[in-house]
């Protein structure tokens, strides 16, 4: 995968346009705040199913991306398996790079 999208995730996180944590992401999906959900490819089966099902039922696009270490490193945190992008501009740019 291209690593350029990781730079955009970092920018979005520093700009406060991301949410992290499974419950927060689910709430943002339900409130239609999430514009794109990025899920690590080594996420557990239950978490992946929960997030993908929510995204599908609320018509929020999602992408399965690199592993959790790569995704976590992009935002400067540890053990993050999913990130919701809350800004349309950042979401479109990331989709373009993926």
What does the pLDDT look like over 15-35, one tens digit per residue?
A: 999 999 999 999 999 999 999
- What pTM was estimated for this model as a whole? 0.92
What does the pLDDT look like over 51-84, one tens digit per residue?
A: 999 999 999 999 999 899 999 999 999 989 999 9
User: Does residue 65 contact residue 41 with C-beta atoms inside 8 Å?
Assistant: yes
User: Structurally, how many domains does the chain consist of?
Assistant: 1
User: Does residue 24 contact residue 83 with C-beta atoms inside 8 Å?
Assistant: no
Q: What beta strand segments (E) does the chain contain? A: 18-20, 36-40, 62-65, 82-85
Q: CATH code at 44?
A: 3.30.1330.30
């Amino acid at each position: 995968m291209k690593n350029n999208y990781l730079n955009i995730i970092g920018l979005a996180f520093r700009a406060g346009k991301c949410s992290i944590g499974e419950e927060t992401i689910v709430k943002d999906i339900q409130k239609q705040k999430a514009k794109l959900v990025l899920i690590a490819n080594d996420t557990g089966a239950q978490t992946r199913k929960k997030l993908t099902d929510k995204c599908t039922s609320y018509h929020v696009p999602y992408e399965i991306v690199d592993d959790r270490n790569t995704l976590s490193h992009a935002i400067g945190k540890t053990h993050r398996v999913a990130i919701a992008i809350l800004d349309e501009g950042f979401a479109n740019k990331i989709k373009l790079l993926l």
